[in-house]
Amino acid sequence: MTRAHTEDTPFARNYARRMLTFSHGKGVWLTDTAGTRYLDLGSGIAVNALGYGDAGFSRVLARQSRKVVHVSNLYTTEPSLRLGERLLALSAPVLREPPAAVHLGNSGAEANEAAIKYARLWSYLTRGEGHHRIISFTDAFHGRTMGALSATPKEAYRKKFEPLVPGFVSVPFNDCAALEKALDESVTAVMVEVVQGEGGLREISPEMVETLNRLGPERGVLVIADEIQTGLGRLGSLLGCQAVGLQPDIITLSKPLAGGLPLSATIIPGRINDLVQVGDHGTTFGGGPVTSAAALYVLDRLESPRFLADLAVREEQLNAGLRELQQQFRWIVELRGRGLLRGLRLDLGPDQEKLFPQVLEVAQELGLLLLRSGSDVIRVAPPLVISGKEMVEALKRLRSVCETIESRRTV
Ligand code: PLP
């Protein structure tokens, strides 16, 4: 197979210099500029829920872009209004209090920045100064802007950019006693992912769900669920909180929301929205008519009657396939995640450092796109529209990747 890599991209070096270069896609398949096809188990980092080349999606974009593309945040449009209402309805069964309002932004980090600002505004206006601290968890990933980065404890992401925003603390993930101890008067909010998408795909424990559901209201602290990676079907239910029983006060969404276009949402309750004044927060592009129309299309598809039922079947199929692989290859030491966001933790022994990165390379050579998560987990996050037949093919290719890695092991 010929593969189309660009060797020396013009992009800043925060991305790899050598990149596979794609020309188009259809369904779960991406084609590079040399014409080679790849089965995509990464979905553009858990974004492309509907896969590539969806005809209905293109029609919606074309129609809306002919009408109006941008009006600013001084005015609004019908698609944005409808999307706002739709997101409130969608999150109502999950949030502890009825959701009252949504702020539409452009990216995951921005959605979390907005959540941080709303939490601080709320504590400042209701309790005064000194109640601004935000707790997040080890291995969390909340984004790369300075506020979201301050809630992302991993050294590798933050060290070169310190000093970060003050008032952020981290607590070991799923350590309920540590959380309880840290939750003093100075804390306004706890930020949590129900499955840690970038940090190794560990799932929130039932004990931590119970602790957050109980302590949030008891201590007057907001629970912010970062559903940027887990939301909108990825874990098998519309929101990841539903899958685990978490009742947050604020939800942030982004990645799949507009089917690959930049859009995010921060959904807040009335007791916060009632305090917010014009000018307290804003963005130029967030929630424009085109991305909103795209999101309405995505939500129509996700909320269509058979979508989640089909997803449950795919989840079962993926789970069974991964279990078989784990039985065959003992160095797949743990399966993590849920729904169509799964992780394979690898322990390749003394060869780990050399072979772990090769898993992604070998996969590419075999026409399969995978992701990593954390330092030792391979992430599988296919488009949610993957068919049964495509899943069989994906698992077959994944087995071939494992066989190649097995053949390269020295012990
Ligand atoms: N939060 C979570 C859970 C994420 O997975 C990500 C991105 O991977 C972000 C926030 C940041 O999103 P973005 O890259 O769109 O800023």
20-56: pLDDT as tens digits: 999 999 999 999 999 999 999 999 999 999 999 999 9
Q: How confident is the model over 141-146, as a mean pLDDT?
A: 98
Closest residue (by CA) to atom 10 of ligand 1? 142
Rounded CA gap, 203 and 178, in Å?
17
Atom of ligand 1 nearest to the CA of 196: 3
Pair of tokens at residue 271: 């007791």
pLDDT bracket for residue 278 (50, 70, 90): very high
Angle at 251 between CA 245 and CA 253, to 5 degrees: 115
Rounded CA gap, 241 and 397, in Å?
32
150 lines ligand 1 (CB under 6 A): no
CA distances from 357 to 20, 84, 163, 278 (A): 16, 41, 31, 48
pLDDT bracket for residue 97 (50, 70, 90): very high
Residue-range domains of the chain with CATH: 5-53+305-408 (3.90.1150.10), 68-302 (3.40.640.10)
Pair of tokens at residue 376: 């030792």
Pairing verdict, β 341-346 and 368-369: unpaired
Q: How confident is the model over 320-324, as a mean pLDDT?
A: 98
- How far is residue 140 CA from its own chain's centroid? 11
226 lines ligand 1 (CB under 6 A): yes
Smallest CA-to-CA distance from 133 within 168, 87, 84, 174 is with 168
pLDDT digits (tens, 9 = 90+) for 98-127: 989 999 999 999 999 999 999 999 999 999
Burial class (CB in 10 A: 0-12, 13-18, 19+), 366: middle
- pLDDT given for residue 305 in this prediction: 85
Mean pLDDT for the chain overall? 97
- How far is residue 252 CA from its own chain's centroid? 10
Rounded CA gap, 396 and 394, in Å?
5
Pair of tokens at residue 284: 């130029």
User: Which residue of 106, 158, 254 sits with most ligand 1 atoms within 8 Å of its CB, as the best mutation to test the pocket?
Assistant: 254
> Does the pLDDT of residue 1 top 90, yes or no?
no
Name every residue whose Cβ is closer than 8 Å to that of residue 160 and which is 6 or more positions away in sequence: none
Rounded CA gap, 147 and 282, in Å?
15
Atom of ligand 1 nearest to the CA of 197: 5
Q: Which amino acid is at 23?
A: S
This prediction has a pTM of 0.98
Q: How confident is the model over 354-366, as a mean pLDDT?
A: 97
